[in-house]
Amino acid sequence: GGVLSTIVRGANETVAPADVDAAEPLIRDAFAVLVQLEIPVETVRHAVETACRHGVRVILNAAPARALPDTLLPLCDTVIVNEVEAGFYTGRPIRDVREAQSAIVPFARDYDVRAVFTLGAQGSVGFDGRDLCHVPPAPARVVETTGAGDSFVGGFAKAQSLGMGFRASLEFAARCSAATISRVGGQDAMPDLEQMQQFLKFSASPLPDEQVLL
């Protein structure tokens, strides 16, 4: 299924570069910094530049789609967007796996990033600079789809921090989404690591890399 939503920025619009500076000790010691575009672009840019200064990788969920400085994306390690956002950034319609695969490689190479296009019920397409892959969605009993994308992005970041490979991280992210949409709620439905460990124990076919969680 799909979802239509609108955005009321509220407190997010007040997040400033000074808030990034206050968090710099945490950024310096982090494995990665995960950033979205629900805060001002100047704050996003400052967070990305701060992470880069400390040699910390950046995972950018470039959502919601908006105009960005040309210099921002090349500073990121991985850029994750859904099919609508991918269409905005590539200037091409992204309606299925084939179109995503055709668009993602030049996008990733243009900005020198690893890229992931999520496609809802069609799974995700990823390109790490060498290999192009399509990861189907994990089986799930769908209750509510709110938060599925955010759970996917968070799951990918966590998997990377645990040393999983690129495709395995996408597989794990898909399972995080599956766990989320099988419950009612948005943030409340997103699994923590302990809940994912339980979810994977009952998975029909755990991935080899996921054994680090069990």
Catalytic center residues: 150
3-state secondary structure of 54: coil
Strands 78-82 and 57-61: parallel
Q: Calculate the alpha carbon distances from 187 to 145, 146, 202 in Å.
A: 11, 8, 22
Q: What are phi and psi of 150, to 5 degrees?
A: -65, -40
Name the residue type at position 57. R
> 176 near 189, Cβ under 8 Å?
no
Burial of residue 89, with CB atoms counted within 10 A of its CB: 0-12 exposed, 13-18 middle, 19 or more buried: buried
Q: Calculate the alpha carbon distances from 85 to 65, 77, 95 in Å.
A: 5, 18, 11
> 177 near 191, Cβ under 8 Å?
no
Distance CA 208, CA 22 (A): 39
